Amino acid sequence: MANTFELNVGALTLDDLLALHAGGATLTLPARAHVAIAASYAIVAKAAAGDAPVYGVNTGFGKLASKRISREDLATLQLNLIRSHSVGVGEPMQPAVVRLILALKAASLARGHSGVRPIVVDTLIAAYNAGLVPYIPSQGSVGASGDLAPLSHMTLALIGEGEMLENGVRVPARAALANAGIAPLALEAKEGLALINGTQVSAALALHALLTFEPVLEAALVIGALTVDAARGSDGPFDPRIHEVRGQPGQIDVAKYYRALLAGSVIRKSHEENDDRVQDPYCLRCQPQVIGACLDQLRHAALVLVREANAVTDNPLVFADTGEMISGGNFHAEPVALAADAMAVAIAEVGAIAERRIAMLIDTAVSRLPAFLTPDAGLNSGFMIAHVTAASLASENKSLAHPASVDSLPTSANQEDHVSMATFAARRLQSMIENTSHILGIELLAATQGIDFLRPLTSSLALESAHRLLREECPFVEQDRYLAPDIERATALVKHGALSRVFRALPDASKLPPLWIPV
């Protein structure tokens, strides 16, 4: 039986969002939300019954806002809005993203500033609880005036005219709703606009990236430390005094992680006093500075995205305490766009420095390991071309990291003359995470190979655990073989949490700073 999860409207935490993203819980609303929803709906119902023009209630939309709509056509106005705005293209959004979209839209409307009936929020929650996945094409939003097209596809499914995804197959929404015992939603005044005007798609995509990158980043820390030992690097650059005098919090924390990961390494002890290399390459020595800066950006993005997940972002907004409806621009997703762009740069940099570590490992002049990490270089090419793959992925990420937020194309006949492009800014992060995961998978293979050349010396307990995980999947590369399957298996350890668990199982892990500061 699923756990009950009360949607803490306006106060969702990152842990709450992780649970909503994972699914499997039964959502409920707190009593205070029902009161707020009813109060705001009363204001809209009054406006719909009156003669004064109110945007989104009895007028057209966007450039057509000056066009008055008769009282008998108000429901048709909302229905036409959803039909006309369901124009998305591309691959469907992943179920985990759609779950977040449903939950975030319900949480936003339940704040009581949108003027919808309780049944609207109840239908969103019922769809989430039934495990329904509205078919939402991934392309077609510019991230201003809300995520109009994708949210229209979501709403089209809820009114029984769109489609749902069942095991990746598109099925008629009306049948899926009937099978779940959910009545199709019949829209009233302002409800269609409230459902599609908002940043929930952009925010859900960015949160999906943040949550899926977390185990990859933890794996990057483990693999980076493994490479330090494979190259017989120094742990001196991780001395806390170096980082304290700079004062950058991410850098300080990353240095702590590396000290914990390398603690007890016999490899390090073996060359502690007689190492003739004065300084390590930047890709080893500057990991706290580089990954720490990335961590600071990701932590800031988490703060922005948690705020956005709790926000009311449709238009116009209802303020029941004064009886007012006020038009504004909370639908503009610039905060999400800038956060997603910062995440893109951070994800690219994690992959970029990992690629440099691979290049260092295969270069015998720097790593002091056999050339290309093969016992018989010349006859064998070893990791020569695996590094080329990593280089190609790092380069691809650099192109993808170009900020999306700096591009704005006016829409709606210049009424909506500056847009955020937040939806693409967030959507492209998944490709970047995939690329970085593969780079790290290649580095894991290379670093583990390097450690094997140093036997019988051993690394720390944590890093030996990582080494063992890889060797259970991929044997030592004695001579050239088909390496692509090894890369896929190593990448799976990066993406799916095996190396993340090594990081989280560090001795005294509870004393280490959390990766994401609680928000």
- Checking DSSP bridges between strand 25-28 and strand 3-6, what pairing results, if any? parallel
For the cut 80, the answer to whether the pLDDT of residue 446 exceeds it is: yes
Give the mean pLDDT of 448-470: 98
For the cut 90, the answer to whether the pLDDT of residue 64 exceeds it is: no
- Given a contact cutoff of 8 angstroms between Cβ atoms, the answer to whether 22 and 128 are in contact is no
pLDDT in tens, 470-512: 999 999 999 999 999 999 999 999 999 999 999 999 988 888 9
Separation between Cα atoms, residue 30 and residue 350, nearest integer Å: 41
As annotated, the active-site residues are 55
With a pLDDT cut of 70, the percent of the chain lying above it is 98
- CA dist 296 to 94, 103, 221, 254, 356, Å? 28, 27, 15, 10, 21
- Given a contact cutoff of 8 angstroms between Cβ atoms, the answer to whether 423 and 142 are in contact is yes
User: At which residue do the structure tokens 């309780």 appear?
Assistant: 118
* Positive or negative torsion for Cα 434, 435, 439, 442: positive
Separation between Cα atoms, residue 55 and residue 324, nearest integer Å: 12
Q: Which residues pair with 89 in a beta bridge?
A: 139
Separation between Cα atoms, residue 82 and residue 29, nearest integer Å: 26
By C-alpha distance, which of 283, 279, 238 is closest to 387? 283
Pull the structure tokens for residue 49.
């019954």
pLDDT in tens, 133-180: 999 999 999 988 889 999 999 999 999 999 999 998 999 999 999 999
Which residues, 6 or more positions from 93, have their beta carbon under 8 angstroms from its beta carbon?
101, 136, 137, 138, 150, 201, 205
Give the mean pLDDT of 80-90: 96
pLDDT of 412 reads 73
Give the mean pLDDT of 214-224: 98
Per-residue confidence at 58, pLDDT binned at 50, 70, 90? confident
Give residue 118's identity as a one-letter amino acid code.
P
pLDDT of 53 reads 86
| Alpha helix segments (H runs only) across 330-383 | 334-362, 364-367
By C-alpha distance, which of 134, 109, 94, 112 is closest to 42? 112
Separation between Cα atoms, residue 335 and residue 312, nearest integer Å: 13
Is the model's pTM score more than 0.85?
yes
pLDDT in tens, 316-370: 999 999 999 999 999 999 999 999 999 999 999 999 999 999 999 999 999 999 9
Per-residue confidence at 2, pLDDT binned at 50, 70, 90? low
Per-residue confidence at 1, pLDDT binned at 50, 70, 90? very low
Domains and CATH numbers, the chain: 3-198 (1.10.275.10), 206-312+328-406+419-511 (1.20.200.10)
Averaged pLDDT score across all residues of the chain: 94
pLDDT of 59 reads 85
